[in-house]
Amino acid sequence: MKEATIYDGVTTVNLQQGTAYNILKYDDEYGASYSNFRLDNSTYGADIPYSGGTGAFYGTGNPTNFSITDGATGFYDITMTDIGNGKWNVSILATVPQIDEIPAQTYTGGGITPEPLVLAGSLSLTKRTDYEYSYEDNINSGTAKVIVIFKGNYASLGTAEKTFTINPIVVTFNANGHGTAPDSQSFTALNEKASKPDDLTAEGYTFGGWFTDSECTNTYDFDTAITGGLTLYAKWTPITYTITYTGIDGATFETANPTGYTIESESFTLTNPTKGGFTFTGWTGEGLDGSQMSVTIQKGSTGNLEFTAAWTKNGFSPKDSSTPEFVYHSLILSGQIGVIFHVYAPEGLESKDCSIYFDVSGDKSQNTQPVYAFEAITENGYTLYGFTCYINSVQMADKIHAVFNYGDNQTITQDDTAKQYLSVLTGDEPQSADTIALAEAIMDYGHYVQAGIS
């Protein structure tokens, strides 16, 4: 008899013991009728369960009768596979229900009841109508079991089982890119609290606590009871390091150098300064090998930095080789304070033929005594005469008016202030701390000035 139409695939059929079954195929080739399947070697009878045989469909002749002799009544999967040249492979095996994989579950304190997909051959099964779920060991962490119990028309399928894992509640710590993450913490009971780990450390960063999101916007409270698994993220703030520069008084920069950086700052190269009358010869500082014209702070660097600009004074060159001119000044801090005026002397101008009158503000009387050169030096091939104006108070010498006399009543003048001389101490020509302290202390003494004759 015909139980079902079978064609290249799996069909699940409920077969009864004591009944013979034929496999038929509807085929237009034989007058729009059914053709019969017969196993090779003219095998006309086969026991169910059956597998491994091949055969073909015929329009005439007797088919192979399949029947249950020793097996049980119930559902069987009939599998027909086309192997070519009109031949088919056949198997008739008891239907074995399958339960889909169950992902690992997490402890909740109550019964965990997953409902995985259930398959039985080609049958179309409806949950809770054709089968029900039952569970074992499904509360505490460990291995649990789901049991599928078939019922109604499918009760003969019996039961099927599948194990699954219940994991403890786990609190995981994510170091968020820096330092070393603490070990995770596991819990097998509700309302326990996670233990706060020791603060993490990482070079160039300050640790900012634990957060429930990777962007570190929600702080985690370790006094909160655990109700489920979670991941905590470490917060990091880059440390801002300072960069200090010395030896740059009076200098200018095309682009200002940064005064701070972090371990995350992109690599940058210091801008070199320029200063009138001087040539920049490089940066010096800790970690540098001598004076370096190019200093780059690489990304990933850490620590406070200090750099000092090194200079060489440019050689003097007169504006007009035939005319005297004031060149530069220097200070005398031993004994009485003095300001030395250096004047360019053209060729042929002797020191006895020139002098300077100093008029210093801050004194009620004016000095009218000429000051003669006390030294002659050569710089870059040119002669410079030195004239000294002694003062008792840098503070009171707000203005020094110098008149240089030479030749036939010819003069040149220059006005300067005490601040200019102090800048010499702390800027162009860096002095020792003792020298600077002395100059500052002298500013607080005396209320008069006088010229000293060399």
Query: What digits encode the pLDDT tens for the residues 367-416?
Result: 567 888 888 988 888 899 998 887 766 555 667 888 999 988 899 998 87
The structural domain count of the chain equals: 5
Average pLDDT estimate for 14-32:
81
Query: Which band of pLDDT confidence, cut at 50, 70 and 90, is reported for residue 430?
Result: low
Q: Please indicate, yes or no, whether residues 232 and 154 belong to a single structural domain of this protein.
A: no
Phi and psi angles of residue 40, each rounded to the nearest 5 degrees, phi first: -60, 160
Residue-wise DSSP of 17-78: TT-EEB-EEEEGGGTSEEEEEEEGGGB-EEEESEEEEEEEEESSSPPPEEEESSS-SEEEEE
The region of weakest confidence among 9-13, 37-41, 116-120 is 9-13
Q: How confident is the model at residue 2 (pLDDT cuts 50, 70, 90)?
A: very low
Predicted pLDDT of residue 395 = 55
Quote the pLDDT of residue 400.
81
Sequence-separated (6 or more) residues with CB below 8 Å from residue 90: 23, 37, 39, 50, 51, 53, 54, 55, 78, 79, 80, 81
Query: Which residue range(s) make up the domain with 388?
Result: 325-442
Backbone angles phi, psi at 424, to 5 degrees: -65, -40
* Same domain, residue pair 309 and 346: no
Domain boundary among 76, 94, 112: 94
Inside any domain, residue 231: yes
Domain finish residue from 220, 238, 256: 238
Let me know whether 297 and 380 are in one domain.
no
Task: List all residues 6 or more positions away from 41 whose beta carbon is below 8 Å from its beta carbon.
Answer: none
pLDDT in tens, 202-218: 999 999 999 999 999 99
Helix (H, G, I), strand (E, B) or coil at 438: helix
- The set of residues, in sequence order, having a beta carbon less than 8 Å from that of 432 and lying 6+ positions away, is none
Is a pLDDT exceeding 90 seen at residue 148? yes
Domain co-membership, 381 together with 431:
yes
* Per-residue pLDDT, 283: 97
Q: Give the global pTM.
A: 0.56
The DSSP letter of residue 441 is H
Question: What pLDDT score was predicted for residue 361?
Answer: 67
Which band of pLDDT confidence, cut at 50, 70 and 90, is reported for residue 364? very low
CA-closest candidate to residue 85, choices 50, 43, 54, 125: 54
Mean pLDDT across the stretch 254-274?
A: 97
- Residues 6+ positions from 358 with CB-CB distance below 8 Å: 367, 371, 389, 400, 401, 402, 403, 451
* Together in a domain, 392 and 437: yes
Q: Are 50 and 68 in contact (CB under 8 A)?
A: no
pLDDT band at 197 (very low <50, low <70, confident <90, very high): very high
Answer whether the bond into residue 49 is a cis peptide, omega within 30°. yes
Same domain? 291 vs 343: no
What's 152's DSSP letter? G
Inform me whether the pLDDT recorded for 131 exceeds 60: yes
For the chain, give the percent of residues with pLDDT over 90: 65
For position 311, what pLDDT does the model report?
92
| Shared-domain flag, residues 247 and 282 | yes
Decide if 319 is inside a domain: no
% of residues, the chain, pLDDT over 70: 85
Q: Give the residue-averaged pLDDT of 55-59.
A: 91
- Categorize the per-residue pLDDT at 420 as very low, low, confident or very high, splitting at 50, 70 and 90: low
Are 25 and 89 in the same domain? Answer: yes
pLDDT of 43 over the 80 cut: yes
Q: E-assigned strands of 73-229?
A: 74-84, 87-94, 98-99, 105-106, 118-119, 131-136, 142-150, 159-167, 169-174, 185-187, 205-211
Q: Among 313, 336, 356, which residue terminates a domain?
A: 313
pLDDT above 80 for 363: no
* pLDDT class of 431 with cuts at 50, 70, 90: low
Give tens-digit pLDDT for 106-127. 998 899 999 999 999 999 999 9
Q: What is the mean pLDDT of the chain?
A: 86
Pick from 62-66, 148-152, 288-292, 328-332: least confident = 328-332
Lowest model confidence (mean pLDDT) among 190-199, 399-408, 425-434: 425-434
